[in-house]
Amino acid sequence: MSDKTTMHQPLDEVPPPAVAPLDPRLLIREEGFKGYLTEFKRKLKGGELGSLPVILALVIIWTIFQLKDSLFLSSANMVNICYFMAGTGMLAVGLVFVLLLGEIDLSVASVSGLASAVFASLSVTHGLNSWLAVVLTVLTGIAIGAIHGFFFAKIGVPAFVVTLAGFLGWTGLMQWLLRGTGSLTIQDKGLLHVLGQRSFFMNQSIAGAYVLATLGVAALLIGSLIDQGRRRSAGVPFRPTSEILVRTVALAIVAYTAAYVLNKSAGVPNALVIFLATLVVCDFVLRRTTFGRKVFAVGGSIEAARRAGINVAMIRIQVFAISGGFAAIGGLFLAGQTYTATLQAGTGNLLMLAIAAAVIGGTSLFGGRGNVWSALLGMLVIQSIQTGLDLLNMDQSIQYMITGAVLLAAVVVDSVSRRTQRSSGRA
């Protein structure tokens, strides 16, 4: 078999299989709806809960608050929830990256507070152009994250200690920046204007919400169909059209309902639009780029990633830089809510809320499992609780206790589902 013609063929195109590649014991999905259901049940048993617990929790929370206060499900309140979840959500997005590595960043809230102070002092005290100040602020966050990453990846200090030190240190720097005045008023212009409470997509036009919903639904449908076509022509398994339609219709129902509800009030807050766009971009980065693949690999097995030629230290530094950057962006969002940089920014339960959001949404604390959409789902839960408790005039003490309990519940679900996944070979 030494004919020279085979020499330069790629290795993956050699002899035919000796056994049928398909395992007869494999549980093949039946076609159509019934198959969809059986697959769903099997996944549940295997601990692949996906987004189900969150959606269930959301329904329960909304029902309870609606029963307590009939204004809860009103359009105005929903707009409120959507607006206020964007800021903390940005912190949660950064945390998702860090959690995927199996690490934690305890500094995000304090970095977000520092970012608002940095922005205020740049744009107000030093009179810098508002957009330039935004860029410098975000770069500050990225640099801070990279410093954390450096100490963790290169020096070998555990991430939670580095970021705990950062938590204190950056709060101190913020207080130093705001020394004397204690707070700075930020001008309502540039990006901060877009992030304000009265800034809505397409200027409150009714069409705005529907344009967004249509964009989302169309993107899903077209993307799925293109993917199906490529897979079909390549001869690899593809999603049946029925499933694509079910998914698209499901998204359409959610998106158009949301658009309808928000439109009854002022429409879609621009802060939410930016948050959603960020999620789309981050989802792409994590699932469709080599960088994202490397993040998952490092979260799954550091040694395997290293041997595959991945520069683990570099990935770690980059991920912490991303987390720092999102913390800064989140800080700007939070500052935009009140147009002030105060000593209170980034304090209280902000850190816990951000971590809770990421974990509630389904990103595992143990690394290697999760997605950025968990920041959205988790924030919906968290912000609903916050807003609901505010509506009911609950004391902050109660809010803290409830947030703590919710975080604990999320972590318990994460740990338990990891155990079931282990025993059914999925983790």
Partner 1 sequence: MSATPVLALRGVSKRFGAVQALTDVELEVHAGEVVALVGDNGAGKSTLVKTIAGVHPVDEGVIEWEGRPVHINRPQDAQGLGIATVYQDLALCDNLDVVGNLYLGRELLRYGSLDEVTMEKRSRELLNTLSIRIPSVRIPIASLSGGQRQVVAIARALIGDPKVVILDEPTAALGVEQTAQVLDLVERLRERRLGVILISHNMADVTAVADTVHVLRLGKNNGAFPVKGTTNEQIIAAITGATDNAVTRRLARNAEATQ
How far is Cα 219 from Cα 142, in angstroms, rounded to an integer?
Answer: 31
By CB under 8 A, name the one of 59, 71, 206, 308 that touches partner 1: 308
Q: Which two tokens mark 132?
A: 């330039």
By CB under 8 A, name the one of 30, 279, 309, 333 that touches partner 1: 309
By CB under 8 A, name the one of 45, 70, 155, 303 that touches partner 1: 303
By CB under 8 A, name the one of 125, 241, 257, 301 that touches partner 1: 301
How far is Cα 50 from Cα 44, in angstroms, rounded to an integer?
Answer: 9
Query: Is residue 415 within the footprint of partner 1 (CB under 8 A)?
Result: no
Q: Which two tokens mark 144?
A: 């801070």
Instruction: Give the phi and the psi of residue 219 in degrees, each rounded to 5.
Output: -60, -45
Nearest residue to 333 via CA among 78, 58, 94 = 94
Question: Judged by CB, which is closer to partner 1: 47, or 190?
Answer: 47
352 and 403 Cβ atoms separated by less than 8 Å: yes
Query: Is residue 156 within the footprint of partner 1 (CB under 8 A)?
Result: no
Q: Which two tokens mark 405?
A: 């309990």
Query: Is residue 12 within the footprint of partner 1 (CB under 8 A)?
Result: yes
Query: Is residue 189 within the footprint of partner 1 (CB under 8 A)?
Result: no
Query: Is residue 426 within the footprint of partner 1 (CB under 8 A)?
Result: yes
Query: Is residue 26 within the footprint of partner 1 (CB under 8 A)?
Result: yes
Binding mask 246-285 for partner 1 (x = CB under 8 A): --------------------------------------x-
Query: Is residue 67 within the footprint of partner 1 (CB under 8 A)?
Result: no
Question: Judged by CB, which is closer to partner 1: 18, or 155?
Answer: 18
Nearest residue to 27 via CA among 9, 12, 46 = 46
Query: Is residue 154 within the footprint of partner 1 (CB under 8 A)?
Result: no
Three-state SS at 339: coil
Query: Is residue 15 within the footprint of partner 1 (CB under 8 A)?
Result: yes
End-to-end CA distance of the chain: 43
How far is Cα 46 from Cα 336, in angstroms, rounded to an integer?
Answer: 43
Size of the site for partner 1 (CB under 8 A): 55
Supply the minimum distance, in Å, between the C-beta of residue 236 and partner 1.
5
Question: Judged by CB, which is closer to partner 1: 127, or 235?
Answer: 235
372 and 96 Cβ atoms separated by less than 8 Å: yes
- Contacts of residue 385, defined as CB under 8 A and 6 or more positions apart, other chains included, come to 61, 402, 403, 406
149 and 318 Cβ atoms separated by less than 8 Å: yes
Query: Is residue 290 within the footprint of partner 1 (CB under 8 A)?
Result: yes
Query: Is residue 7 within the footprint of partner 1 (CB under 8 A)?
Result: yes
Supply the minimum distance, in Å, between the C-beta of residue 307 and partner 1.
5
Query: Is residue 299 within the footprint of partner 1 (CB under 8 A)?
Result: yes
Supply the minimum distance, in Å, between the C-beta of residue 43 and partner 1.
12
Burial letters 134-145, b for 16+ CB under 10 A, else e:
bebbbebbbebb
Supply the minimum distance, in Å, between the C-beta of residue 220 and partner 1.
17
Question: Judged by CB, which is closer to partner 1: 10, or 180?
Answer: 10
Question: Judged by CB, which is closer to partner 1: 340, or 424?
Answer: 424
Question: Judged by CB, which is closer to partner 1: 148, or 294?
Answer: 294
Long-range interactions of 153-157: CB distance < 8 A, separation 24+:
153/312, 153/313, 153/314, 153/316, 153/317, 153/320, 154/313, 154/317
Question: Judged by CB, which is closer to partner 1: 19, or 67?
Answer: 19
Residue type, 213: A
Query: Is residue 296 within the footprint of partner 1 (CB under 8 A)?
Result: yes
Query: Is residue 311 within the footprint of partner 1 (CB under 8 A)?
Result: yes
Question: Judged by CB, which is closer to partner 1: 76, or 308?
Answer: 308
In the window 318-337, what residues touch partner 1 (CB under 8 A)? none
Q: Which two tokens mark 74?
A: 């009103």
Query: Is residue 305 within the footprint of partner 1 (CB under 8 A)?
Result: yes
Nearest residue to 367 via CA among 156, 97, 152 = 97
How far is Cα 342 from Cα 358, in angstroms, rounded to an integer?
Answer: 26
Q: How many residues does the chain have?
A: 427
In the window 198-237, what residues touch partner 1 (CB under 8 A)? 227, 230-231, 234-237
Binding site for partner 1 (CB under 8 A): 1-2, 6-7, 10-23, 25-26, 227, 230-231, 234-237, 284, 287-290, 293, 296-297, 299-301, 303-311, 367-369, 422, 424-427
